[in-house]
Amino acid sequence: KLGKKVRITTNDEFKQLGSAFNIMSTKLDQVDKQRKDFVANVSHELRTPLSSIKLLSESLIHQNEDDISVYKDFLKNIDSEIDRLNNIIDDLLTLVDLDKAKLNLEYKTTYINYLLENIISNLMPLADKKDIDLKLIEKEKIQIKIDQNKIQQAIINIIHNAIKYTPEGGKVEVTLYTKNRYTIIKVKDNGIGIPKESLPNIFERFYRVDKARSRNTGGTGLGLSIAYQIVTLHQGAIEVESEVGKGSTFYIKIPNDIDLS
Ligand code: ADP
């Protein structure tokens, strides 16, 4: 009769279903927490420069100085806080764009050499300003399929950091080569280095080893997370080795034969 046709769910199956459901709901909770944390972080990051601007403009309003240079100093500080707000918003928009781009990167066969040469010549003035010896070593000529604009941004972020976190007179060496079917862009600096305990966190959004130093150099705390996301979208990886006081080496690894299926 009817009862015989109904498939009875066994105890074991119930248990499996239950644990699958638990895993799913834990995942959902995690995503929800990450989203909430992110919104809280963004608010905090935007509020910091805004509070400074408010404080500076209030002081300006109450100034009775005749000396115009006093006013100019206040305005210069306000101006640089506005730059900071702009940088944060630009980086946030890049992250939103990357979330959307997940499924449709604009792949183009590219000579990575030309891309790197171009990046280095654009960053040279910044290195010169700090008397940093910025060098590019091209071991071979490499053509790969990438989204040019995005990979360019990832590479710029890493080299820019190397310049930012290396004291005057230091060295930044960028080397391009192939290993095990991966194109490697190695960025080695002899700067301040990263403490071992911070290494697992540096690719997180808004994480900085030293907040004050990052802010002074115009950092948003988003550069590495953007680079990481771009390289991961290309099925690649970023690895880092570092020693405090000696310097850091970042390896950007992009597969030579990307799977576009
Ligand atoms: P930021 O805008 O602060 O530079 P990033 O996401 O680019 O943010 O980097 C995160 C943190 O990692 C930085 O604040 C800095 O503490 C550390 N960092 C990144 N690159 C280097 C480097 N080459 N040398 C030393 N520290 C670095």
AA letter at 261: S
Query: Is the CB of 202 within 6 Å of ligand 1?
Result: yes
pTM: 0.87
Query: Is the CB of 170 within 6 Å of ligand 1?
Result: no
Phi and psi angles of residue 243, each rounded to the nearest 5 degrees, phi first: -140, 130
The pLDDT value recorded for residue 171 is 98
Q: Return the ligand 1 atom nearest residue 210 CA.
A: 16
What separation in Å is there between the alpha carbon of 245 and the centre of ligand 1?
Answer: 14
Kind and range of the H or E run holding 10 = none
What angle, 0 to 180 degrees and rounded to 10, lies between the N-to-C axes of helices 148-164 and 112-129? 30
Query: Is the CB of 158 within 6 Å of ligand 1?
Result: no
The pLDDT value recorded for residue 5 is 66
The pLDDT value recorded for residue 260 is 76
Query: Is the CB of 243 within 6 Å of ligand 1?
Result: no
Closest CA to 123 of 134, 113, 131: 134
Ligand 1 atom 11 nearest Cα: 208
What separation in Å is there between the alpha carbon of 208 and the centre of ligand 1?
Answer: 6
Question: Strand 247-255 relative to strand 237-243: parallel, antiparallel, unpaired?
Answer: antiparallel
Query: Is the CB of 162 within 6 Å of ligand 1?
Result: yes
Residues 6+ apart with CB under 8 A from 57: 74, 78
What separation in Å is there between the alpha carbon of 145 and the centre of ligand 1?
Answer: 28
Query: Is the CB of 90 within 6 Å of ligand 1?
Result: no
The pLDDT value recorded for residue 6 is 67
AA letter at 15: K
Query: Is the CB of 94 within 6 Å of ligand 1?
Result: no
CA distance 205 to 104: 23
Which 3 state secondary structure label does DSSP give 241? strand
| Contact present, 242 and 198 (Cβ < 8 Å) | no
Long-range contacts of 178-182 (CB under 8 A, 24+ apart): 178/139, 178/140, 178/142, 178/256, 181/255, 181/256, 181/257, 182/236, 182/253, 182/254, 182/255, 182/256
What is the CA angle 27-28-32, rounded to 5? 120
Q: Mark the ranges of the chain whose per-residue pLDDT is less than 50.
A: none
CA distance 220 to 95: 12
What separation in Å is there between the alpha carbon of 158 and the centre of ligand 1?
Answer: 9
The pLDDT value recorded for residue 214 is 79
